[in-house]
Amino acid sequence: MNLLADTPLTKNEYKKVTFLPFNVTLKICAGTSILDAIKDANLPVAASCGGKGTCGHCIVQILKGKYKANVSAALSESLFKKGYVLACKTGIIDDLVISLPKFQQLSIKTVIDIGISEKNKKYISGVHDFAPRIRKVEIKIPLPTLENNYSDLKRLQQKLSNEFDIKTLDCDYHVLKSLPDILRKNDGQITLILFKSDKSWNIIDIFPGKRKKKIYGIACDIGTTTLVVGLVDLEDGKLINTASGFNQQIKCGEDVISRINYAEKPERLLELNKLLIKTINDLIEKAIESLDISYTDIYVASFSGNTTMIHLFMNVEPRYIREEPYVPAMNKVPFILSGNLGLGINNAGRIHIAPLVGSYVGGDITSGLLCTPILTSKEKISLFIDIGTNGELVIGNKDWMVTCACSAGTAFEGGQIKFGMPAAAGAIESFKFTNGLNIKYNVIGESRPKGICGSGLIDFLAESFIHGYVERNGVINKNTVKDKYVQDETGKGIIIVNTKDCFWDRDLVIYENDIANLIRSKAAIYSACSLLLKNLGITFDNIDSFYIAGGFGKNINIENAIKIGLFPDVERGKYHYIGNTSFYGAYLILMSDKNKNMVDMASEKMTYIELNIEPGYMNEYSASLFLPHTNMKLFPSVENLLKQKQKL
Amino acid sequence: MNLLADTPLTKNEYKKVTFLPFNVTLKICAGTSILDAIKDANLPVAASCGGKGTCGHCIVQILKGKYKANVSAALSESLFKKGYVLACKTGIIDDLVISLPKFQQLSIKTVIDIGISEKNKKYISGVHDFAPRIRKVEIKIPLPTLENNYSDLKRLQQKLSNEFDIKTLDCDYHVLKSLPDILRKNDGQITLILFKSDKSWNIIDIFPGKRKKKIYGIACDIGTTTLVVGLVDLEDGKLINTASGFNQQIKCGEDVISRINYAEKPERLLELNKLLIKTINDLIEKAIESLDISYTDIYVASFSGNTTMIHLFMNVEPRYIREEPYVPAMNKVPFILSGNLGLGINNAGRIHIAPLVGSYVGGDITSGLLCTPILTSKEKISLFIDIGTNGELVIGNKDWMVTCACSAGTAFEGGQIKFGMPAAAGAIESFKFTNGLNIKYNVIGESRPKGICGSGLIDFLAESFIHGYVERNGVINKNTVKDKYVQDETGKGIIIVNTKDCFWDRDLVIYENDIANLIRSKAAIYSACSLLLKNLGITFDNIDSFYIAGGFGKNINIENAIKIGLFPDVERGKYHYIGNTSFYGAYLILMSDKNKNMVDMASEKMTYIELNIEPGYMNEYSASLFLPHTNMKLFPSVENLLKQKQKL
């Protein structure tokens, strides 16, 4: 703690304020409140009371710099001692480093779980044979003699052709430049880094002697909200480290539409591009910093992301994605050198980008399909749902696939929910009412709860609905909720954690507005599925398996997801939660050419349906804005359950 | 003229001195003589008297700047008035621009003749079908609709596939970036620049609407001494302008061996590389300056040059070319983007480099072969000789080819000869003794003679030999030469132009030392041919045709070349002088893919013989150091002629 006595503020003096974990730095006029600075930076912040210091939602932690604050009703002494302050009541009088607590816990540790589980590996279409496009090769090239006086490159080509059956071999210009000297340094013993493009191999780097240092690849899921980077050992294919963090573009808008709007001016498109590249480079740095690895040892990167993110990643105009007829610049992304993008890997490194299907169905789906059996299954029909800030669906099998997307919003990732947070340390990941209004929950990590993540929110809503605390239209029933009911500046709510048990020394509340956001999100997804099926002339019963991916947290309770009408009411055994498939798909593409080809072919084969222009979609959506649905007959098991409850 | 009165020189003051046509600028301490400055700049200069101001060989012309000089025995008043001074007798007291007259006349005009003549086109292997790898395409891409909502790139690919049968199409990253906006600017009407690589087409540039501006290519012969750049209209294949000039590397050494030695330190290799790129860029500039063409309109460049020049052009270590076992870094040159080399054409432009065969047989030979029938002829055997600073030969036909190179020196290009000069305005291009010692000559352009070029030197030597003015060993016969005989600081010589007729107001003399250089050059070439034939077990009579290329000047007299023993004594009708084949080959490669493939295949097929290690070569060479040869039986027509002369 670095408290200051009262000192007069010098007006027009500027202080440097950095917000973590977004790594956003601004120059702020001294005297401005931290809350206003957060708003200036366009970072997400909750402040229901309008800066009166009463709601306590704008709590932040000062990590560095001097400040002046007081304990108050909304800020307990224990938090105050840990450096927490209310952003609305704290003026900036020094250079500060400030952490936004809701986001600070998205650590390396938590996302390691995001990879696909051993159990789920049996479902995947992707192959696990280790055959990356990049290879390190140690080889001894015969020194030239008067009898064998072929050029250096030709002798190298001949040797590689004989020993590795590599027939067509070219080399990067920078390799050619150093070839003559390197070939003669260790009696012709060299180490080559080879990359296989569609038709031929290329030498992309060269070293004298046998080079012990390993080579690495990066798999990366570029999410609208969060990114995951995995560092892969290219000699055995093992995922040796991961890092994840928030997309630093968040300050320019929370969803893809607002980012596209932000990018309207060319310099802002470039700003978004640079923020994304910086996010990725920071994560790469984080993934290698504790290991004896240089970024130059990374020779390949495989990316997967939604269509907008890939446009921004490549600094390509995204405007037409959101203008009718909703068209991306490219589907299959042409070959790019990492040096073109300023990516923090070896400049000669090669980049794979999972192909895009349409404006709102991107590489997260094409690569994600590798984690489902759809690409190899001949007869059975599967439905693959990937729920991020956008919800994207695919129905089909090896022979046909239909896909569409809907705007799910960030509620299931913890956005748009007052005490929502990602599935990270401190999050309530499962939730239950027992014996009336007693509450039981599990928290990720060893912490008092700080908030609630997607899977916890699904549980909360299902339980509240089934127990009659929340009506079918999402309204809280004050009478049944009794002493858990609260009404404050934010609105009406249900207390789920009492002050004494909460990390923030305050009540954790789910508000009616949060419930409305959750219902909108689940309605968007259910109605998209439903409409897609109607277009195909089939029903949910025709689907053999449901593969669920996304950032809810791994403990998603499918039963509860059905109760709120997020997923259809079919046999439970058909459901499989398969984690962050976008990331794992990018990893699989890195691992084997076969996966890359499978994904490219899949993207060509998919039929893309643009929901924006489907006349029936709004009706489907409106009908889904109830718990579980306006038409209760669609959810017979929920109807039964409610009937039983009423009988009791 | 800008003469100065006597003014005291300020010591340690530096002046900027630029030497044309080499465009070399140095800072020189005031008071230094121009001769010393030329030597400092490593530029070629003749100064037999050692700076005494008597020989008059170091004459230079001051184009800009103040100087102080006097008329003298070695500097006539008329030259003095034109700004000429003796470099040894003129101190630097101002910033100067100085022209070295021997080289100043290598103009655009003279080298246009270097292209292949209509008559010679019937001999060539290369095809004249116009099918360059680069194409400008105007096309209208349908705007997307809700029914045709493929991505921008995909719609473009579909349209090109339908209209031009282009199946595999990729695009450069910078094109993709501008694709969405450009596609929507003129209702989908766009202009594309397409490049065909080995396997697929690439969009390398894109413009909205129909672009009227033409696209261009560059063909370039990179010689050790001179470069020729041709500007080609890529819409009709016409050569619309040429420019030529001295290789600015000359100051680092006159032949390939001295350049390789100079390049021993990496920074010097880079210096040579930059000098060469600058030479090329200056010539491109010169070729386009009078036309409404920007360098960005040039999308492809085809280069041909000897192995060392190509290494220096690409900034690749050339050292191993001259160290046993004499190995170049590459034969077929990998694909390079013009941006990689800093070439003065469009950054996205593509570069072809004619493949190299061995350390001393380079792209000038592989591309030059296109200008001979060798690559298509099935039975007849041809000998192709390209005489530049290096002499390179190929014997063979479509089925087999053997090649070797020898160090011919620069005598036939006018180097190493006191009054030698390139085949440019002012050069004596043919020479004859009539009625005893009367001399008849032709001068290129309308000028009094300034010097003598390769074809003139061959004539001079043949005539002098046949008339008995020069002995078989190259010694001048004082008794027969009579009043044309001279002996001065440079040595013994024969006056070929009197003072009154000479541009320099002085006698033009061929010295004994010049003759020795000519004999060494012709011996190197003849002995290389002779040895190659011996290795093949054939004689000159087995050769059906002789194709002669090089910088002698187009009026080379084959009869005289045989008299001095440069070429073998065979039926005259077998000889064809075919000009600058390296340049014309580079042009043909630019014109058609078929030529490129032909050249690539030829380079793979050729057997390269390294003369450096052939035990018999020195003997052959020594035996050739006589006029025409130690073994007169090899030149029966010359022997007969001499017998007839003796009878008279």
Q: What is the pLDDT of residues B94-104, one digit of tens each?
A: 999 998 876 65
Q: Residue A5: what pLDDT? A: 43
Between B173, B331, B335, which is nearest A336 by CB?
A: B173
Min distance A252 CA to chain B CA atoms (Å): 21
Q: Determine, for residues B177 and A315 on separate chains, whether the beta-carbon distance falls below 8 Å.
A: yes
- Give the Cα separation of A472 and B415 in Å (integer): 99
Q: Report the range of poorest mean pLDDT among A430-444, B141-155, B504-518, B545-559.
A: B545-559
- Chain B residues with CB under 8 Å of A357 CB are none
Q: Determine, for residues A151 and B610 on separate chains, whether the beta-carbon distance falls below 8 Å.
A: no
- Give the Cα separation of A564 and A523 in Å (integer): 9
Min distance A568 CA to chain B CA atoms (Å): 29
What number is the average pLDDT over the span B340-344? 95
Q: Residue A109: what pLDDT? A: 36
Q: Residue B21 pLDDT > 80, yes or no?
A: no
Q: Is A347 on the interface with B (CB under 8 A)?
A: no
Going along B474-606, which residue ranges are E strands? 485-488, 491-497, 508-511, 545-550, 575-579
Question: Are A529 and A385 in contact, with CB atoms under 8 Å apart?
Answer: yes
Q: In what order do the strands lie in the sheet with A336-337?
A: A239-246, A226-233, A216-222, A298-305, A350-353, A336-337
Which residue on chain A is closest to B144 by alpha carbon? A325
* Digit-coded pLDDT (tens) for B194-243: 999 877 899 999 999 999 999 999 999 999 988 999 999 999 999 999 88
Give the CA radius of gyration of chain B. 27
Nearest CA among B107, B41, B9 for reference residue B426:
B107
Min distance A269 CA to chain B CA atoms (Å): 11
Between B144, B326, B340, which is nearest A149 by CB?
A: B326
* Digit-coded pLDDT (tens) for B230-270: 999 999 999 999 888 888 888 788 789 999 999 998 899 99
Min distance A154 CA to chain B CA atoms (Å): 6
Q: Determine, for residues A173 and B320 on separate chains, whether the beta-carbon distance falls below 8 Å.
A: no
* Digit-coded pLDDT (tens) for B146-157: 888 899 999 999
- Give the Cα separation of A346 and A340 in Å (integer): 11
Q: Residue A280: what pLDDT? A: 97
Interface of A with B in 222-261 (CB under 8 A): none
Instruction: Please state the pTM of the whole predicted model.
Output: 0.86
Q: Residue B553: what pLDDT? A: 66
Beta strands A298-305 and A216-222, pairing class = parallel
What number is the average pLDDT over the span B356-380? 94
Q: Residue A1: what pLDDT? A: 46
- Give the Cα separation of A215 and A489 in Å (integer): 55
- Chain A residues with CB under 8 Å of B317 CB are 177-178, 180-181
Architecture field, domain B218-353:
2-Layer Sandwich (3.30)
Min distance B494 CA to chain A CA atoms (Å): 45
Q: Residue B111: what pLDDT? A: 37
Tokens of B163: 């209209």
Q: Residue B580: what pLDDT? A: 83
Q: Is A615 on the interface with B (CB under 8 A)?
A: no
- Give the Cα separation of B526 and B629 in Å (integer): 9
Min distance A420 CA to chain B CA atoms (Å): 36
Confirm or reject CATH 3.30.420.40 for domain B365-410+519-643, answering yes or no. Answer: yes
Question: Are A255 and A413 in contact, with CB atoms under 8 Å apart?
Answer: no
- Number of Cβ within a 10 Å radius of residue A236: 9
- Give the Cα separation of B192 and B179 in Å (integer): 11
Between A179, A327, A340, which is nearest B144 by CB?
A: A327
Of the residues A176, A611, A612, the best mutation for testing chain B's interface (the one with the most B CB atoms within 10 Å of its CB) is A176
Q: Tell me which CATH code domain B14-104 carries.
A: 3.10.20.30
Residue numbers of chain A with a pLDDT score lower than 50: 1-2, 4-5, 107-114
Question: Are A465 and A627 in contact, with CB atoms under 8 Å apart?
Answer: yes
Q: Residue A290: what pLDDT? A: 87
- Give the Cα separation of A331 and A329 in Å (integer): 7
- Give the Cα separation of A159 and A153 in Å (integer): 10
Paired residues of B491 in beta bridges: B488
Distance of CA A136 to the CA centre of its chain: 31
What number is the average pLDDT over the span B42-59? 76
Min distance B354 CA to chain A CA atoms (Å): 15
Q: Residue B363: what pLDDT? A: 96
Q: Residue B179 pLDDT > 80, yes or no?
A: yes
One-letter-per-residue 3-state SS of B13-62: CEEEEEEECCCEEEEEECCCEHHHHHHHCCCCCCCCCCCCCCCCCCEEEE
Q: In what order do the strands lie in the sheet with B59-64?
A: B24-29, B14-20, B96-99, B59-64, B84-86
Tokens of B475: 């010694």
Is A287 or B116 the better-scoring residue by pLDDT?
A287
Give the CA radius of gyration of chain A. 27
Min distance A615 CA to chain B CA atoms (Å): 13
* pLDDT band, very low/low/confident/very high, at B637 (cuts 50, 70, 90): very high
Q: Residue B97: what pLDDT? A: 93
Q: Residue B435 pLDDT > 50, yes or no?
A: yes
Is A306 or B46 the better-scoring residue by pLDDT?
A306
Contacts of A610 (CB under 8 A, 6+ apart): A325, A326, A358, A359, A360, A404, B146, B149
Q: Residue B260: what pLDDT? A: 95
Q: Report helix, strand or coil for A58.
A: coil
pLDDT above 90 covers a percentage of chain B that reads 66
Q: Residue B190: what pLDDT? A: 97
Q: Determine, for residues A152 and B325 on separate chains, whether the beta-carbon distance falls below 8 Å.
A: no
Of the residues A152, A158, A327, A404, the best mutation for testing chain B's interface (the one with the most B CB atoms within 10 Å of its CB) is A327
Q: Is A317 on the interface with B (CB under 8 A)?
A: yes
Contacts of B43 (CB under 8 A, 6+ apart): B19, B22, B24, B100, B250, B251
- Chain B residues with CB under 8 Å of A178 CB are 317
Q: Residue B556 pLDDT > 90, yes or no?
A: no
Cα–Cα distances in angstroms (integers) from residue B146 to residues A602, A614, B538, in the given order? 22, 11, 75
- Chain A residues with CB under 8 Å of B181 CB are 317
Interface of A with B in 143-202 (CB under 8 A): 144-146, 149-154, 170-173, 176-181, 184, 199
Of the residues A154, A168, A182, A330, the best mutation for testing chain B's interface (the one with the most B CB atoms within 10 Å of its CB) is A330
Q: Report helix, strand or coil for B199.
A: coil
Q: Residue B143 pLDDT > 70, yes or no?
A: yes
Q: Is A315 on the interface with B (CB under 8 A)?
A: yes
Q: Tell me which CATH code domain B105-212 carries.
A: 3.10.20.880
- Give the Cα separation of A49 and A75 in Å (integer): 14
Going along B88-238, which residue ranges are E strands? 96-99, 134-140, 169-171, 189-196, 201-208, 216-222, 226-233
Interface of A with B in 108-147 (CB under 8 A): 144-146
The CATH H-level superfamily of A364-410+519-582+598-643 is ATPase, nucleotide binding domain (3.30.420.40)
Q: Is A314 on the interface with B (CB under 8 A)?
A: yes
Nearest CA among A330, A410, A12 for reference residue B155:
A330
Angle at B501 between CA B497 and CA B507, to 5 degrees: 40
* CATH class label, A215-353: alpha beta
Residue spans per domain, chain A: 14-104, 105-212, 215-353, 364-410+519-582+598-643, 418-510
Of the residues B195, B317, B326, B353, the best mutation for testing chain A's interface (the one with the most A CB atoms within 10 Å of its CB) is B317
User: Per-residue b/e over A42-70, b at no fewer than 16 CB within 10 Å?
Assistant: bbbbbbbbebebbbbbbbbbbeebebbbe
One-letter-per-residue 3-state SS of B75-119: ECHHHHHCCEEEHHHCECCCCEEEECHHHHCCCHHHHHCCCCCCH
Please indicate whether the domains covering B218-353 and B365-410+519-643 agree at the CATH topology level. yes
- Counting every residue, how long is chain B? 648
Q: Determine, for residues A181 and B153 on separate chains, whether the beta-carbon distance falls below 8 Å.
A: no
> Identity (one letter) of the amino acid at B602?
A
Q: Determine, for residues B335 and A170 on separate chains, whether the beta-carbon distance falls below 8 Å.
A: yes
Which residue on chain B is closest to A154 by alpha carbon? B330
One-letter-per-residue 3-state SS of B559-572: HHHHHCCCCCCCCH
Min distance B171 CA to chain A CA atoms (Å): 7
* Digit-coded pLDDT (tens) for A355-387: 999 999 999 999 999 999 999 999 999 999 998
Q: Residue A111: what pLDDT? A: 38
